Structure 1
Amino acid sequence: MSYQEINSKPPWFGEWLLRSFCSYDFLNTALWDMEEIYIDNIKLKGKNKAKWLYLKEACGVIYHLYFKGNSHYATNNIAMVKNNIIVALRSIKKNKGNGFVNILGLSSALILFLLTTIYTSYEFSYDSYHEHSDNIYRVYKSINVIDDPDYRDSGTPGPLANALTTEFPAIVGAARIINWGKLLVEMGGEKYIEPDIFPADPSIFNIFSFEAVSGKIDDFIADPFTMAISETIAMKYFNRTDVVGESVTFNKKYPMKITGVFKDMPENSSFKMDIIVHFESIVSEYEQSLARWGNNPFYTYLRVEENVDAKALEAQLTSIRAKYANDPMDEDGQDVTYFLQPLKDVHFERNIQGSLGTPVNGQRLQNYFIISVIILIMACVNYVNLATAESIVRMKEVGIRKAIGAKRANLIAQFMISSGLVVFFAMAFSTLVTFLVLPAFANFVERPLKLEFFDPRLLSFLLATWFGLTLISGLYPALMASRFNPLQALSGRGLVKAKGGILRKGLVVFQFTVSIILILAAIVLVKQLRYIDNLDTGYSRDNIVILSTRDDAVDDRLDNYMEELRKISGVSTVATSWSLPTNVTSNTQANWNGITDAERLPMYMVGVTHDFFDLYDIEVIEGRSFDKDIKTDRKSILLNETAVKELGWENPIGREMITQAGVKTQVIGVVKDFHIKSLRDKIEPLQILLNGRYAILAVKINADLYETLVKIEELYESYSPIHPFEYRLFEDVYDKAYAEESKMAKLAFWITLLAISIACLGLYGLASHRVEQMVKELGVRKVMGATTNNLLSLLSRDFLKLLGISFLVAGPVAYYVMNLWLDGFAYHTQFGVTSFILALVLIGIVAIVAIGYRTYTAAVGNPVEALRQE
């Protein structure tokens, strides 16, 4: 063991703990004993291990002293800490302005941080309550013939689940699920319309975690024509939960016996099920054969054994179709590859088509949290700047304390306690405000968020946050103040080194860089939303109402119902289509006699009735539309401009094509391109068929909207006295598709406003620090004839330089990040020079306001007051 190692000093933080909490008469003995233990541990266990043991022993000494030791020592140490708290409170009271700014800045940032933490924690808790959540997977597929390498779809064929459990013993269970929506449920003369009913395999209860309230889990949907329901549904139907053996009827033809009641699935589920029925009971409703690999309307979930390599299992799925399907190709010629997705990722996967729930953008959630942490750091930077400026004012106090024997550790403890109190007040205020505003925030994000004050996890989190913020915001000012030379401090000349000034200026540059990035991001976000709102989508959205036709009584007489609708005063056009123009999902391939592989083109398709183009104002630019008087139009199609262009046809009218069902058709027209999906996606090739059955019914109104809807409702009730009348405005459907971007814009506005406010507080802190340093220089300059404008220019010059540096750093970063975001839209606005100019002007005005007051009061101050002391 070398001399240097034996005489190695103990870790500074452990010594500081002892000096901060131990009284003077006990301190020397404690330090001597601890250093001997430290040197012994170096010899026996090595230096790194000795450091941790020293810290542990230091904490033990403090605990023993305060709670187990001599009452005399405990009293002295408690009195010392109490005295430091009193001094800290007096300092905060004396400097009310700085104290208010610190608490306001920290509490504002903490409110955002707490709200974001609660929100993101809730989102990332989805599906974690399932006992085997780490071993549950969703099966999804890619279709190799689709000209999109990123295409993924969660629809799977009926035979897949049985093939998986047969082929792979490591799969504990696999279940098919489908959403059977908006059905008439009858029970004891009462009628209900249920929005979501889930046919599933019995193995679903071996995959997901359900808690039985009535009945046994093993008996749930074990037999055909049985169902299990949640507590909420049981109370809704029967006003009790012991309902095993009761029966209900679906759609007047499916009698279902209740075999179990389970606790409601938590809200943080990627999909929620309240009514689960035996899968094979309702297969005929879809007219789908469970043996067909070409039909993919089902969702497949599976659970594997512990410690199974999911990637290795996924690699073996390629053999499934070749072994179990009659032909490894689908009936429509689509070659498929299957994949496994962990259940914990389902809630955040938006790139897989189709889902039982509504996925969210996980990356965006992470970005919100990161931004809230950055803004919290900005608030801590403010505290550092203001506390540093305040320490210059307190130089004489520090000098007196050092002169009468105070050690550096005691001074650090005093400043750290002061910092801890400020952080405590800020956290107390922010926690209260968070509790009050959380209901409104939860309503905004549409999540059941809550804050439980006495939750041990919350208390632990708040304690850790308090400790971390106290350390981050208080350590630098404490170290700086404790370094003052007592003679210079008593004479009013503190030692503020140049590198400290550089650090503080660097922190302000960091603050304004973040603020400028957020301003530019908010500007681009608003511009993109306006661009989307004003973009010509190729179809009309005004005064169009989407009507429900769920009732068989309506659907079976749909043609008559539509004719009656046309007779209503105020209704101009009525039409149906397989899907809305905003979300065409059916796909096929261009096909004709003699086609080559090179000519194969994936296409979307939609079936419509004759008035579809008039209702949505979709322009036919070549050829003609469907004609009611031409019977052969049943075997005709229209293409969009993109389809004609990608097919390379100069004269498409009259060209023959073959549909997916093998029917020969003729192209009779070309429609102007319209957006068949989100504006994030480019316009795809589309073929339009004359087929409006099993579709969405839309009505265009040219009179008072709600008066006309009353007449439509009266007609509907004459057709369907059981099912309630339901409608949606097409404009609302369109807006809902971009609701997340709209919320993002609102959040961006408030976050940016908060960041700018905190950055301005930081600039105010730096201005205060600068003024305190230059107070005598300003007095001399004023006595020598300097005007107020001269002094304002002198004080503001450096700040404007910092602002310029911030802008130079923020501009390229914002440009890169926002262009990445804009690239997610196939059609988007441009990140132009005007955005930079607007951001620079805005941040310049805000910065001038922030430093104006402090610099002006210094410039107009009485020079005699500044020169009085030396």
Structure 2
Amino acid sequence: MFRNYLKTALRSLRKNKSYSLLNILGLASGMLVFMLITRYVTYELSYDGYHEKKDRIFRVYKRDDGNVYQGTDQFAVVPAPLPTAMKAEFPEVEAAARVLRRQNALIEVGDEFFIESNLHGVDPDFFEIFSLEILKGDPNSPLTGRESVAISRTTAMKYFGTIDALGQTLKYGEEWSGKQFFMQVTAVFEDMPENSHFTIQLAADFQGVMELNRDDSQSWNNSSYYAFGLLATGNSFEGLQEKMPQIRAKYADDPIDEDGQESNYIIQPLADMHFTSNVNFDIAPSANKQNLLIYLGIAFMILIIAGVNYVNLATARVINKTKEIGIRKVIGAQKKSLLSQFLVESSVLVFTSLAIATFSLLLILPSFATFIDKPLAVDFATVQPWLVLLILGGSMTLLAGIYPAVLLARFKPIASLKGKGTVSKSNAMFRNALVIFQFTISGILILGATVLSRQLSYIQTMDVGFDRDQIVIFSVRDQGLRDQIGAFKDEIKTIPGVVSVAASNSLPNNISSSTSARWPGMPEDGERVRIYVNTADYNYVDLYGLELVAGRNFDPNIAADKKGILINEAAAKAIGWDDPIGKEMVRTWYGDTGRVVGVLKDFHQHSVHLAIEPSQIFFNDEQSRISVKIEGDLDRTLKAIEAKYLSFNPKYPFDYNYFDDVFDRAYQTETRTAELANWFTALAIVIACLGLYGLAAHKVQHRIKEVGVRKVLGASVGRILALLSKDFALLLLVAFLIASPIAYYVMNGWLNDFAYHISINIFTFVIALVLMLLVAGLTVGYRTYRAAVRNPVEALREE
């Protein structure tokens, strides 16, 4: 029986090639988007899931009441003694480990130098907490002392060409500290999966790294370390959290600093770490769980739109199937067999679409993974992908195919043989509701994509208060070169094409250090002013085009400017100075006072997500972050700069960036979101238009005799086009009225995450409405025009 159903379904689909093609195109597109998005979302949700004790692992971060930094008072780093104290004080803590991250660590192996960004100092308990597969060495004791190190498979192959690297030695040193020491490889571990919140390539003994960096592991006043722990079986994170104030009470020098700032320690389960976006100095970038849910919602909406498409096209085709149904019923076909027949036809369409979508997924997934910078893949050698595809295909068959099948199966034989019984008010209303639903979703996506694009355009073109073009930046990490920074800058200035050279501690778009502003005569009981601090030389202001609104820049001819200070307008306002020039301020970093020589116009020292805050620039011409303004041939000038750099024989390689690229990377998430939104919106519109085409075909077929009569009576083509199209325009208008407030609410909430943003004005809605009407008009217009120009005699002959 099933074989006969299948043969009949294939004949029917071959006979109606345009119907089949439209359905397959819509369903395959919807399924492809659904599979892409769900693969991305499931990958993000899989972070850290491979650890055997994942349900008991936690980290500790802190909240400093009264210390808001870059929009939040939460910090991922804590004092070094905290984990040790927790393990000693609380039996609930089975293991605790400190982690010290060292970026740009210089490793020497024989005659070769390597720059490592993933060297971490760790306590021995680290290997008890996290599941690292030990390939070589003692799994129970990977680290054996202060000069021991465990390295990853990739690092072992890079350094020694083999994973059998036990006993090999590495020389690790910090140029700035002038100290180096040899580390012996005591373990090699398998590379940590990429879906780890943080990865480690070299795990050195914590105490050894601390001593090399001259850090005090007993100080509660230096929060520069990450803390992880393992909860003993039978305990809860909530119970441990309730006990954390005891740590503060016992170690009195920690909770309160000189400004009355209180630190509270927060227990966070491992499962939540990857989705914490409001914590400063996190050990690795985090994901936004809200964005993932939005993506998942879009995936389901597009899949539903594709299913609605099928229903619309199937019901539009009902008229052509009525006589077949009548004949089948007259010769004895039961309702059950008719249902089975049309469900088989639906399943053939759905699974054909699914096969095309799966093949397309294999082609597109590598490019999609590169775009979102995630190692996405599907392993068809396992059962899980096939099970997911089977569930997806079966669900779509039932959801999309059941209504048309039931609609056809319930026709009465006599009415079916006369070609009647296919249109009812309830069925028409249902189809109209489906179109409204499709274009409501499309309207929301159009409005959302429009707002996203406008906000990104605003960010890229707004006056941020400094220049971004033709500036190259790089850091001088080699201590020998740092000692000659003045001579090095002078050498660069001699290169043709170099307009200006400046040295600073921070770039103008990311001033990361902050402190409390202090000045003689400040009120003792006044509210403290948080101020961001940068240091720079004489050329910094001019190179970046920072504008002075009062006073002057640092002057090399004025000796007192060695202690000069520049502040921005926000600082003058926060302190309450109407005329700041000549006012004294404490130079916190240097322990002395200096005088304000100039006031800078406010510039965005952070992302436009944050408001402009008070900032100050101290003079210092020996900083190691170099900015070079270039004109003319960039490549040739850069090669000359590199040659000058290498002439000083540094150990670190020459590594540079363009400042405008650094600026754009701060908004990489928004850029990707906007591009994805544009693609998804375009695809949703195409799929929705296929459904609209189906409804137009249905209505035109139903009113074909009416069109013939009207043409015989003298109606023009334009009049008939207007008659057949007005209903669709009304449906689109209803969809737009539903979509507008929803899109406004969602996008206005998204914009509120930016301190500086566009406003959603009437022009945004006009653009969206015109686009919807234009696309729908072209879709409906094609089908209705064919009916309007048709010979009326042919229409009147149909029975």
- TM bin, normalised by shorter chain, reads over 0.9
Indicate the residue corresponding to 1:610 in structure 2.
538
Change beyond 3 A, Cα 1:263–1:303: same
Contact 2:97–2:229 (CA<8 Å) still a contact in 1?
A: yes
The match for 2:20 is 99
Where do 5+ consecutive residues of structure 1 fail to align? 1-79
* Paired position in structure 1 for 2:757: 828
Aligned partner of 1:732 in structure 2 is 661
Matched, 1:260 2:187: yes
| Structure 2 residue aligned with 1:572 | 499
Aligned to 1:151: 73
Provide the secondary structure at the position in 1 that maps to 2:469.
coil
**1:182-205 alpha-carbon deviations (Å, 9 max, x no partner):** 233222333323233111212111
SS of residue matched to 1:249: strand
CA contact (8 A) 2:485 2:624 kept: no
Structure 2 matches for 1:298-317, cutoff 5 A? 298-317=225-244
Contact 2:516–2:528 under 8 Å retained in 1: yes
- CA spacing shift, 1:355–1:720, aligned 2, 3 Å: farther
Q: By how many angstroms is 1:215 displaced?
A: 0.5
Letter of the aligned partner of 1:182 in structure 2?
N
Q: Bigger CA drift: 571-580 or 814-823?
A: 571-580
Give, in angstroms, the shift of residue 292 of structure 1: 1.9
Task: Give, as a single letter, the amino acid of the residue that structure 2 aligns with 1:855.
Answer: T
Relative to 1, partners in 2 of residues 1:633 and 1:167: Cα closer, same or farther, differing over 3 Å? farther
CA change 1:91–1:822 in 2 (3 A) is same
Shift in Å, 1:665? 3.3
1:858 counterpart = 2:779: no
- CA distance change for structure 1 residues 579 and 263 in 2, over 3 Å: closer, same or farther? same
Deviation per residue, 1:336-378 (Å, 9 max, x gap) = 1111222222222221111222222222122112112101101
Q: Separation in 1 of the partners of 2:13 and 2:120?
A: 61
> What is the match of residue 431 of structure 1?
358
Offset of residue 133 of structure 1: 1.6
On the 8 A contact 2:472/2:658 being kept in 1, the answer is yes
Q: Give how far 1:598 is off.
A: 2.9
For the residues of structure 2 that align with 1:490 and 1:738, how far apart are their CA atoms?
63
1:114 is displaced (CA, Å) by: 0.9
Q: C-alpha displacement at 1:282, in angstroms?
A: 2.2
Tell me, yes or no, if structure 1 residue 598 matches structure 2 residue 535: no
Contact map agreement 1:588 1:603 (CA 8 A) in 2: yes
Offset from partner CA, 1:122-161 (integer Å, 9 cap, x none): 1111111111122222222122122578421112111111
Structure 1 window deviating more from structure 2 (369-378 vs 305-314): it is: 305-314
CA offsets, 1:387-407, max 9 Å, x none?
112122111111111112222
Gap change, CA 1:111 and 1:692, over 3 Å in 2: farther
Comparing 602-611 with 228-237, greater Cα deviation is found at 602-611
Partner of 1:132: 53
Secondary structure of the residue that 2:311 maps to in structure 1?
A: helix
Q: 1:256-655 alignment to 2 at 5 Å?
A: 256-326=183-253, 328-330=255-257, 334-592=261-519, 593-655=521-583
State the TM-score, normalizing by the size of structure 2: 0.95
Classify 1:542/1:511 alpha carbon distance in 2 versus 1 (closer, same or farther; 3 Å): same
Q: Could you tell me whether the CA contact under 8 Å between 1:293 and 1:330 is conserved in 2?
A: no
2:612 maps to 1:690: no
Q: Please tell me whether the aligned partners of residues 582 and 677 of structure 1 are also in contact (alpha carbons under 8 angstroms).
A: yes
| SS of corresponding position for 1:688 | strand
Give the stretch that moved more between structures: 475-484 or 617-626: 617-626
Q: 1:825 to 1:585 in 2, by over 3 A?
A: same
Aligned partner letter, 2:529: L
Give the deviation of 1:692 after TM superposition: 5.6
Residue 176 of structure 1, CA deviation:
1.7
Paired AA for residue 690 in structure 1: F
614-623 vs 203-212, which moves further: 614-623
Return the offset for 1:869.
4.7
Specify which of 184, 198, 202 is matched with residue 120 of structure 2: 198
How far apart are the structure 2 equivalents of 1:345 and 1:794?
57
Residues 1:325 and 1:606: Cα distance change in structure 2 (over 3 Å): farther
Query: Is the counterpart of residue 755 in structure 1 residue 684 in structure 2?
Result: yes
Secondary structure, counterpart of 1:235 in structure 2: helix
Q: Measure, in 1, the Cα distance between the counterparts of 2:112 and 2:569.
A: 52
Equivalent residue in structure 2 for 1:706, among 626, 629, 635 = 635
- SS of aligned partner of 2:76: coil
Structure 2 residue corresponding to 1:208, chosen from 110, 130, 136: 130
Structure 2 CA distance, aligned partners of 1:307 and 1:380?
47
SS at match of 1:689: strand
CA 1:748–1:542: 2 relative to 1, 3 Å: same
Which has the bigger relative contact order, CA under 8 A and spacing at least 6? Answer: 2
Q: Does 1:123 align with 2:52?
A: no
The letter for the 1-side match of 2:676 is L
* Residue in structure 1 matched with residue 168 of structure 2 by the alignment: 246
Give the superposition deviation at 1:327. Answer: 5.1
Q: What is the alpha-carbon distance in structure 2 between the residues aligned to residue 276 and residue 861 of structure 1?
A: 78
CA distance in 2, matches of 1:211, 1:467: 40
Runs of 5+ in structure 2 lacking a partner?
174-178
- The DSSP-based 3-state class of the residue aligned with 2:78 is coil
1:721 Cα deviation from its structure 2 partner? 4.6
The corresponding residue for 1:51 is: none
Deviation digits for residues 66-100 of structure 1, max 9, x if unmatched? xxxxxxxxxxxxxx111111111111111111111
Residue 615 of structure 1 and its aligned partner are, at CA, apart by: 2.0
Task: Tell me, yes or no, if structure 1 residue 108 matches structure 2 residue 45.
Answer: no
Task: Check conservation: 1:293, 1:325, Cα contact below 8 A.
Answer: no
In structure 2, the residue matched to 1:88 is 9
The worse-fitting range, judged by mean Cα deviation, of 748-757 and 632-641 is 632-641
Distance 2:608 2:336 in 1: 61
> Relative to structure 2, which stretch is displaced further, 276-285 or 479-488?
276-285
Computing the radius of gyration over CA atoms, which structure comes out larger, 1 or 2?
A: 1
In 1, Cα distance between equivalents of 2:511 and 2:122? 27
**Equivalent in the alignment of 1:667:** 596
Partner amino acid, structure 2, of 1:456 = V
CA contact (8 A) 1:199 1:282 kept: yes
**Which range moved further: 413-422 or 828-837?**
828-837
Instruction: Please give the alpha-carbon distance, in whole angstroms, between the structure 2 residues aligned to 1:531 and 1:613.
Output: 24
Could you tell me how far apart the structure 2 residues matched to 1:711 and 1:868 are? Answer: 84
Task: Report if aligned partners of 1:551, 1:720 keep a CA contact under 8 Å in 2.
Answer: no
The answer to whether the 8 Å contact 2:47/2:197 transfers is: yes
Give the residue type in structure 1 aligned to 2:568.
N
CA distance in 1, matches of 2:743, 2:492: 53
- Residue deviations 1:253-311, cap 9 Å, x none? 22000000000001111111111111111224433322222211211122212342212
Question: Using the alignment, how far apart are the partners of 1:604 and 1:108 within structure 2?
Answer: 50
Partner Cα separation in structure 1 for residue 139 and residue 699 of structure 2: 72
Say if 2:536 and 2:623, in contact at 8 Å, map to a contact too.
no
1:765 and 1:102 mapped to 2: Cα distance? 10
| Preserved CA contact (<8 Å) 1:380 1:473 | yes
1: CA distance between counterparts of 2:518 and 2:101? Answer: 32
SS of match in other structure, 2:48: coil
Q: CA RMSD in A?
A: 1.9
Deviates more, 1:748-757 or 1:140-149: 140-149
Structure with greater proportional helix content: 1
8 Å Cα contact 1:599-1:647 kept in structure 2: no
Report the secondary structure of 1:297's partner residue.
Answer: strand
Does structure 1 conserve the Cα–Cα contact (< 8 Å) formed by 2:478 and 2:650? no
CA distance in 1 between partners of 2:605 and 2:211 (Å): 31
Partner of 1:298: helix, strand, or coil? strand
- Measured after TM superposition, the shift of residue 555 of structure 1 is 2.1
CA distance 1:210–1:729, shift in 2 (3 Å): same
Distance 1:307 1:757, change over 3 A: farther
TM superposition shift of 1:748: 1.4
**What amino acid does structure 1 have at the position aligned with 2:93?**
I
What is the number of equivalent residue pairs in this alignment?
Answer: 791
Instruction: Kindly indicate whether residue 670 of structure 2 is the aligned counterpart of residue 741 of structure 1.
Output: yes
